[in-house]
A and B are shown apart, each in its own frame.
Chain A
Amino acid sequence: MATVDSTRSQRKVGVKDMSWDPITRIVGSLGIHTEIDFDARKVNKCYSTSMVFRGFDIFMKGIDPRDTHFITSRICGICGDNHCTCSVLNQNMAYGVKPPPLGDLAYNLAEAADYMFDHAIFNDCMANVDFCEQMVRETNPELLKVAENTTSPHSDLHGYKTIADIMRALNPFTGEFYLETLQVARYTREMYCLFGGRHTHPSTIMPGGVSADITHQTCTDYYVRLMRYIDYVKRSVPLHDDLYDFFLEQLPGYDDVGFRRTDLVCWGAFDDPDYVDYDYKNMGAWGEKRYVTPGVVIDGELISTDLVEINLMIRILLGSSYFDDWTDEETYVTHDPLGNPVDKRHPWNKTTLPKPQKRDWGDKYSWVASPRIYDKRTDTYIASDTGGGPFARQWVTAKAGLVDFGYAKATGESIKMTLPRTASKPEMELEWKIPAKSNAIERDRARAYHEAYSALIGLHNLERGARRGPCRPHQIMVGLQGSGRSGVLRLPRGGQGGAVASHGDQRRKGGQLPAISAHAVERQST
């Protein structure tokens, strides 16, 4: 296939196979295999694969359902706690338990800490490697020269005079801002550990609440670190804005990098304890009260913010994955508790039947299945993405305009945020506007703003929690009720929907947890 025709006078590459496998920046060993026509400057074929096994629900079969969140969290070493929390929300719904308010707030505080951790480290230590000085010098030296002579518009806020200074600060292992972010990652993990015990496989997040001893000291420890983080965000957001604007200005066409139709899906995150009752029948109502609004966006249009509707739109297609079809297997749920029909391809009815085999580009070549959003208006399966997480979260939240908790307000076109005064900076206003395009830069930019957004959610929830004083939000659950329930939660880098299906006399033996891996969603959509 590869025709490398090189003569001394004229080096001609022609059509060549290029492979990147594994891409370790993406957890779960993403591999990209392409065939590139260098003459026509065109990618002829492109396959994304993952050789890491998917199908954690197999491990859930037959175990005590109360253990599921401890096992699901092991799916990932970065976002395990989100899988855990998602599973716990599932269980709350399945058992019909409502944690005391501080329990819900503690879920939120732990999750907010994780979002802060993940967005900071992902943006500056992984994504921004693409924009750092070392990389730009090697790939585009002309651009670096321009950057040296471009003053950054927000240099008074972040302290870097030129764009090249920003790029140098982002150099891996030597850059100032890169190293600072590594420290930020440490203390945001400390924040998580205050509530979760451990990051990323928490030991205190339980159905019915959080078993951590939450005292005023816990809240103070959290608060101190949170304010340090908000101080950091006040430099981080303008820094990223300057950098990304520079790339968009200087490299025409850069806004087409990673461009795709705005098809988004967001399950929402951070429940409001005053509204959430973990009852499927009211899921649409309490879903809309989440601090991150759930929603499905098809071609730039917000279709729904109703979690029940969103849930019923999910389909798992086999795609090119090493799984056998489950159409002949048992149908666990034909109708949801509201009487809506549930499709055979819905994750509730999924039976995972792995079939490892040789990689074949014509047929099956990945462990990742294809989660899709079913659009009944056009009878199509939409490959909705999450925009790497924050993009979809902010897009939907901003558009829906339902969120207003003082520190942040969704306006229908943007999210307005007010960062309170911190040690080195006065109060600061930020506004994230819905961008015209869904592309790589905008996804990164959304992540920078989401650092601020999740910090504000943390602050708001902490204030709510601290007012309540110490208590032990722990309930012991006895037995299970119900047939099939689901909880859906956003992961920092994707989305996860999980379902505990338990029925009849299988109650004590445990159900199943067909969970779409966050990476599965990501892999297929980005």
Chain B
Amino acid sequence: MVKCNVPVRGWQSGIGGCPNVGGICMACTMPGFPDKYMPFMDEDKYGAAAANFIKFTYGPLVRHFRARNVKTKYDKEPEWRKRGTTLTTGYQKRW
């Protein structure tokens, strides 16, 4: 819940930026800083709940369809790519 472009633009010439190097965000760009965000070092109150909600709803859905697509589509070579003397790619010679 913080509006800040530092993760995108870095801090100095594109280098740094709190979350980019492993720092915490303390919402210093927000008008509510610091009072509404203290204590900075504590986890967000609803953070775990929100993460768990996603973990058991959106997460399984994404996992299911991703696994299905991988299995049925992406984990297979295209059918024209097979051993043998006949060319099955659909390429037609012009000579």
Contacts and interface: CB of A to CB of B under 8 A. Distances in A.
Interface in A155-202: 186-187, 189-190, 192-199, 201-202
A440 B65 CA distance: 72
Contact of B6 (A194, A198, A199): A198
6 contacts: A186-B13, A190-B15, A194-B21, A199-B16, A204-B21, A211-B24
Interface string A359-381: 00000000000000000000000
A63 B26 CA distance: 14
A193 B11 contact: yes
A94 interface: no
Contacts of A203: 18, 23-26
Given A197-B18, A198-B18, A67 B12 contact: no
Contacts of A299: none
A206 B40 CA distance: 12
Among B21, B39, B40, chain A packs the most CB atoms within 10 A around the CB of B21
B59 interface: no
B24 A64 contact: no
A463 interface: no
B13 A190 contact: yes
Interface residues of B, number: 23
B19 to A, nearest CB: 8
Among B13, B15, B40, B42, chain A packs the most CB atoms within 10 A around the CB of B15
A35 to B, nearest CB: 43
Nearest to B14: A190
Contacts of A201: 28
B51 to A, nearest CB: 18
A66 B6 contact: no
A324 interface: no
A457 interface: no
Contacts of B23: 196-198, 202-204, 211-212
Contact of B10 (A187, A193, A195, A196): A193
Contact of A67 (B6, B10, B40): B40
A342 B28 CA distance: 37
B12 A193 contact: yes
B20 interface: yes
Nearest to A198: B11
Contacts of A218: 21
Nearest to B42: A64
A269 B49 CA distance: 43
Contact of A66 (B18, B22, B28, B39): B39
Interface of A: 63-64, 66-67, 70-71, 186-187, 189-190, 192-199, 201-204, 206, 211-213, 218, 221
A198 B26 CA distance: 12
A197 B38 contact: no
B12 to A, nearest CB: 4
Nearest to B41: A66
A161 to B, nearest CB: 33
Top 6 closest pairs, chain A to chain B, by CB:
A193-B16, A203-B23, A64-B39, A197-B23, A204-B23, A203-B18
A201 B17 CA distance: 11
Interface of B: 6, 10-13, 15-18, 20-26, 28, 34, 38-42
Contacts of A67: 34, 38-41
A193 B41 contact: no
Contact of B17 (A70, A186, A195, A198): A198
A193 B15 contact: yes
Given A197-B23, A212-B22, A213-B22, A190 B12 contact: yes
B33 to A, nearest CB: 10
B13 to A, nearest CB: 6
Contact of B15 (A63, A206, A221): A221
A199 B41 CA distance: 19
Nearest to A510: B39
B21 A190 contact: no
A243 to B, nearest CB: 29
B40 A194 contact: no
Among A66, A193, A212, chain B packs the most CB atoms within 10 A around the CB of A193
Contacts of A221: 15
Contacts of A63: 38-39
Given A66-B40, A203-B18, 9 more contacts: A70-B34, A186-B13, A193-B12, A194-B16, A197-B22, A197-B23, A198-B11, A204-B21, A221-B15
Contact of B22 (A70, A71, A204): A204
A189 B11 CA distance: 9
Contacts of B16: 190, 192-194, 196-199
Nearest to A225: B15
Contacts of B39: 63-64, 66-67
Contacts of A187: 13
Contacts of B15: 190, 193-194, 221
Contacts of B6: 198
Nearest to A187: B13
A63 B39 CA distance: 8
Contacts of A195: 21
Contacts of A212: 21-23
